[in-house]
């Protein structure tokens, strides 16, 4: 049955089945496992030539299901062989007009869900980072205050602070007194001061 074939148009399905044998075989068509004969729904014809049998069948596509199977079986006293044709109907233009918008809406909804999840993850990461930054800032401020307290504890009291100021004033006043006329200037000492420190007397 190498020359057997089926074609499908918008309204019809046309199949041909050719078989050669000795004794000459008989051909039988079936649709979805049920034998069919020539009728208003199925137009079947046969041709016989020198032991070769050719049969044609035409059926209405409008009456078919979404998918169906056409079978051509050839048999004689020596055995039988079959050729199977399986059809799947494509959706019509009206069905396509419904299916396409639904498909697009599904894809858009899926993308929107993905975008919403990404925005949520980014927001959580931002909040987490802000909390970490605030925590580190408070921690650094706490350690800075502790250092300030430690330094302030090491500083001398106010009474001790006044003594250097008084000493500076005394030195300044003594220098003024030395520059007054009639005051004997001390001799210049070339040796180190440490060697001529006066005694306690």
Dist CA 118 CA 120 (whole Å): 5
**According to the CATH classification, is domain 5-88 in 1.25.10.10?**
no
Provide the pLDDT for residue 190: 52
Count of CB atoms situated within 10 Å of the CB of 54: 17
DSSP state for residue 9 in the 8-state scheme: -
**Which of 13, 45, 19 lies closest to 32 in space, CA to CA?**
13
Provide the pLDDT for residue 68: 84
Report domain extents, the chain: 5-88, 93-141
Provide the pLDDT for residue 84: 87
Query: Is the overall model pTM greater than 0.85, yes or no?
Result: no
User: SS3 for 69?
Assistant: strand
Q: How far is CA 105 from CA 98, 102, 119, in A?
A: 11, 5, 21
Low-confidence ranges of the chain (pLDDT < 70): 1-2, 61-65, 89-98, 142-201
Q: How far is CA 74 from CA 10, 45, 63, 106, in A?
A: 28, 15, 26, 49
Dist CA 67 CA 55 (whole Å): 23
Provide the pLDDT for residue 87: 79
Provide the pLDDT for residue 150: 45
Provide the pLDDT for residue 117: 93
Q: What is the dihedral of CA 37, 53, 83, 79, to 10 degrees?
A: 100
User: SS3 for 198?
Assistant: coil
């Amino acid at each position: 049955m190498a020359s057997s074939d089926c074609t499908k148009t918008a309204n019809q399905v046309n199949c041909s089945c050719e078989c050669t044998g000795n004794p000459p075989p008989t051909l039988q068509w079936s649709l979805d496992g049920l034998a069919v004969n020539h009728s208003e729904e199925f137009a079947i014809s046969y041709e016989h030539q020198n032991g070769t049998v050719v049969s044609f069948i035409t059926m209405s596509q409008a009456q078919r299901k979404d998918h169906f199977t056409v079978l051509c079986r050839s048999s004689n006293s020596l055995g039988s062989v079959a050729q199977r044709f399986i059809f799947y109907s494509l959706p019509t233009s009206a069905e396509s007009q419904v299916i396409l918008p639904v498909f697009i809406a599904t894809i858009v909804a899926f993308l929107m869900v993905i975008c919403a999840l990404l925005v949520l993850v980014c927001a959580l990461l931002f909040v987490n980072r802000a909390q970490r930054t605030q925590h580190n800032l408070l921690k650094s401020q706490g350690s800075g205050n502790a250092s300030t307290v430690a330094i302030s504890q090491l500083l001398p009291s106010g009474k001790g602070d006044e003594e250097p100021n008084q000493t500076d004033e005394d030195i300044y006043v003594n220098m003024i007194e030395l520059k007054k006329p009639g005051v004997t200037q001390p001799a210049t000492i070339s040796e180190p001061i440490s060697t001529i420190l006066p005694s306690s007397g």
